[in-house]
Amino acid sequence: MGVALITTIGSCSLSLHAMPLTINTEEYPPFNYSDDQGQIIGSATLLLRDALRQAGIEAYFRLLPWARAYTEARLKENHCVYSTTRTHEREALFHWVGPLVVNEWAAFSLAERGLSIDSLSGLDAWRVGSFREDAVGAYVASRGTDVLLAPTERENIARLEAGLLDVIVTGKATGEFMAQEHDIALAHLFTFYLAPLYLACHPSVSEALLARLQTQLDALHQEMQEGSQ
């Protein structure tokens, strides 16, 4: 997939940071994904764009395979990545802003298979799919289950349909979104974790700038909470 670029420009960005941020993301609907015009959208994207604009921070958004998006943010100055799970292993590698949204980690199979699995321990006898550098798959693998890794989340749907996988582990909202997108019936087997998702930035990114962004993000969350009451 080609790179899609979006620019978010704030009037006071130069006073906060000498260079615009490069913000990487992946196809992970409904939180972050590209529409038919190649624009990066999704619930986490819209919230992050609003916070950046209100904080006056200039940023370029790029859509990449997850492993590359994550690795660039870990290794390159002025780079960030979202929507990222804040694990113990990742904590010291980045500066963090968030949470943006909360992700439910879940297991799915094709509904027509009629599988009856209700816990992670029940996955051991099945072919389980995730994708490279994904925290969901890494967590399941850490519990002793062999996990087959694809380059992208959407490829796992194709593998599931082709009979190459029995189960996929992913975000619940993501699995439901992709099932509707591909017009297939997935069975939600069980949910096993609630994981807030964050923006993770290379340590070179100014902590003062990210504190300003966090303040705006917190204000947006407060507005949303008050609006739902």
Residue among 50, 56, 38 nearest 199 (CA):
50
Instruction: Show the tokens assigned to 143.
Output: 């519990």
What is the domain count for the chain? 2
Q: Residue 229: its pLDDT value, please?
A: 65
Q: What is the pLDDT of residues 183-194, one digit of tens each?
A: 999 999 999 999
Does residue 202 share a domain with residue 189? no
- Which residue range(s) make up the domain with 84? 5-101+197-228
Instruction: Show the tokens assigned to 70.
Output: 């994550």
* CATH number of residue 65's parent domain: 3.40.190.10
Does residue 59 share a domain with residue 32? yes
Does residue 162 share a domain with residue 111? yes
Q: Residue 12: its pLDDT value, please?
A: 40
pTM of the entire structure? Answer: 0.82
Q: Residues in the chain with pLDDT < 70?
A: 1-18, 229
Residue among 131, 134, 20 nearest 77 (CA):
20
